[in-house]
Amino acid sequence: MFWVIFISVALVVGVGLILIQRQQPVDPALMGADLSVADGRKYEQFRPLSEPEQVLYWRLVEALPECVVLAHVPFSRFIKPPEPGEDFAIRHYRVMNARISQKRVDFLVCLRDFTVVAAVDLDDLDQDGRRDPTREQLLKSAGIVPLRVFAEAIPSVETLREMFTASR
């Protein structure tokens, strides 16, 4: 009896969803083969780094020729929670992963084998002044040196080189 009711309810819900989907009009422009145009508008490109970010990027590259400098790197590309196991439940893994899932660093400095050396954040005018206090804690817990640079006073190439020499 349970299965008959379950299958009946599933069927009714499925048919209802199909009917609702059919009632929503689809824009004919989106149905065409050219996905780059909708309503006659095309995508526009823009520079992925702001002016202060470009200045800092090139100074980092010059100051650290033995390193690889990556821009706008999500935390989840270079740190992760411990794998779930007997002593670490999956729910704890998910909570820890959620803490990093929407965070990124402005620049990740790596050795040539992509071992992480440091994470550099640029505080610029585009940000509203609020800083996430857990960012440095998360980076430090993974053994990564967090560095913060202010856009109003981007260090010189020499100063950046000294910062990295001192942080090692």
Contact 109, 40 (CB under 8 A): no
Span 74-98, pLDDT tens digits? 999 999 988 887 777 888 888 888 9
Over range 44-66, report the average pLDDT.
96
With cut-offs at 50, 70 and 90, classify the pLDDT of residue 147. very high
pLDDT attached to residue 76: 94
Reply yes or no on whether the pLDDT at 136 is more than 70.
yes
Task: Mention every residue, 6+ apart, whose C-beta is less than 8 A from residue 39.
Answer: 27, 29
* Mean per-residue pLDDT over the chain, rounded: 84
Q: What is the DSSP string of 57-82?
A: HHHHHHH-TTEEEEEEEEGGGT--PP
With cut-offs at 50, 70 and 90, classify the pLDDT of residue 166. confident
Reply yes or no on whether the pLDDT at 39 is more than 70.
no
Q: Which domains does the chain have, with CATH numbers?
A: 2-42 (no CATH), 51-167 (3.40.1350)
The pTM of this model reads: 0.71
